[in-house]
Amino acid sequence: MSASVPIHAPNCVVGVIGGGQLGRMIALAARRLGVRTVIWTGGLEAPAVECADEVIDLPFDDEEALRDFCGRVTVSTVEFENIPCHTLEKVAECTGLFPSPRAICICQNREREKNFLKENGIPHTWYAVISNAADLAAAMKELNGPGVLKTADFGYDGKGQLKLEGTEDPETIWAAFDAPRAVLEAWVPFDKELSVMVARGADGVTVTYDPAENRHRHHILDVSIVPARVSPAVTLEAAAIARRVAEALDYRGILGVEFFLKADGSLLVNEIAPRPHNSGHHTLDACVTSQFEQQLRAVIGLPLGSTRLLSPVVMLNLLGDMWPEETTPPDWHPLFADGEASLHLYGKRHARGRRKMGHANILGATTESALERAEALKAEWLGL
């Protein structure tokens, strides 16, 4: 582990590579701690710029931007993983980057991620690496059943995925898939989808948050129910596996580990996110320490904060299809009238169907009461 950077050291500045909503919430957490931030947007639309102290609005492969970024920051982190590995390595050489380029580059590519899980004995779905139609034909024959073909790179929220029943023609499928490399995974008949946020500090101390029970709509996270409605044994096992993942990566920062919970109570790791995660947004209102403050603590070298859950909570994603018009938000009065709901908007000016525009955290005495109120709000905004 690298030496920590004292939070109140002169000119301590945290650089954030990426300018989306996760970067925005990291910057907001930094302001609370009195930490300055530099956001490197990559030249993309960047909700984080409104909350940052400084902004570099240039592509990630721009050498001038790289020099500028490294010259301004004390230590750096990322808010999404799809950043060129060579850029990450150059940043790490000059400022220190947490999590490490190795960890990020493993998680940004499904082939590397699956191989990492296999090599470290972490439970995962059956998979095969595909680079041509012959590979796909052989894998489909071995699988002998339904599966999901996924691009090796740049897949998220259901993008770059194709469900296969197992009877399709491999030549036709591969010709239409339009990817140089892919992974075929077995289709898992799961009981629930879960996730665990795990944080590992500069000193190797590791903490986990309560598992979230996740439901999806259009392949995008819809609601996270916390604590997940699972047995104590499943809760302990999910936390233990998440710790194993973080330790095997020699991780520093916050990490999201997504699971399939099968009917027999066993867990399989589905994906790993080397950053704050959508299913951890409930921590902003329902935990002692939010996932965003936890990220900063780990990156800067502070002791990690408590992950204690203060209240059962449901996180509801607010997608663009809830907006009546592209620039007209829903009527938020029902949310404020609830009394135990909090609104978090991301500052995006134009709503599109499945674009993440914000989220709401609904607290309650029980998960069931919070879920009932979250579903009522969603139905009202969708006109159901």
pLDDT tens digits along 271-322: 999 999 999 999 999 999 999 999 999 999 999 999 999 999 999 999 999 9
Tell me how far apart the alpha carbons of residues 380 and 292 are, in angstroms, rounded to a whole number: 30
Tens of pLDDT, residues 130-142:
999 999 999 999 9
Residues of the chain with CATH 3.30.470.20: 190-382
Give the confidence band of 157 by pLDDT, cuts at 50, 70, 90.
Answer: low
Provide the token pair at 236: 């302990």
Provide the token pair at 227: 């604590």
* Burial annotation 88-112 (CB, 10 A radius, 16+ → b, else e): bebbbeebbbbbbbbbbbbbbbbbe
Percentage of the chain with pLDDT > 70? 96
Tens of pLDDT, residues 232-264:
999 999 999 999 999 999 999 999 999 999 999
CA 43 to centroid of chain Cα atoms? 21
Long-range contacts of 30-34, Cβ-Cβ distance < 8 Å, separation of 24 or more: 30/296, 32/293, 33/7, 33/293, 33/296, 34/7, 34/8
Tell me how far apart the alpha carbons of residues 154 and 158 are, in angstroms, rounded to a whole number: 11
pLDDT of 63 higher than 90: yes
How many Å from the N-terminal Cα to the C-terminal Cα in the chain?
Answer: 52
Structure confidence at residue 2 (pLDDT): 43
Among 168, 178, 237, CA closest to 208: 237
Structure confidence at residue 153 (pLDDT): 84
Mean pLDDT confidence for 82-102? 96
Which CATH class for the 13-97 domain?
alpha beta
Residues of the chain with CATH 3.30.1490.20: 126-186
Tens of pLDDT, residues 179-222:
899 999 999 999 999 999 999 999 999 999 999 999 999 889 99
Give the confidence band of 12 by pLDDT, cuts at 50, 70, 90.
Answer: confident
Give the confidence band of 345 by pLDDT, cuts at 50, 70, 90.
Answer: very high
Tell me how far apart the alpha carbons of residues 377 and 380 are, in angstroms, rounded to a whole number: 5
Residues of each annotated binding site: 110, 150, 155-161, 185-188, 193, 216, 270-271
Structure confidence at residue 339 (pLDDT): 96
Structure confidence at residue 1 (pLDDT): 39
Residues of each annotated binding site for ATP: 110, 150, 155-161, 185-188, 193, 216, 270-271
Structure confidence at residue 358 (pLDDT): 98
Its CATH architecture, for the domain 190-382, is: 2-Layer Sandwich (3.30)
CATH superfamily of 126-186: ATP-grasp fold, A domain (3.30.1490.20)
Structure confidence at residue 7 (pLDDT): 55
Residues of the chain with CATH 3.40.50.20: 13-97
pLDDT of 154 higher than 80: no
Structure confidence at residue 44 (pLDDT): 83
Mean pLDDT confidence for 357-368? 98
Question: What average pLDDT does the chain have?
Answer: 94
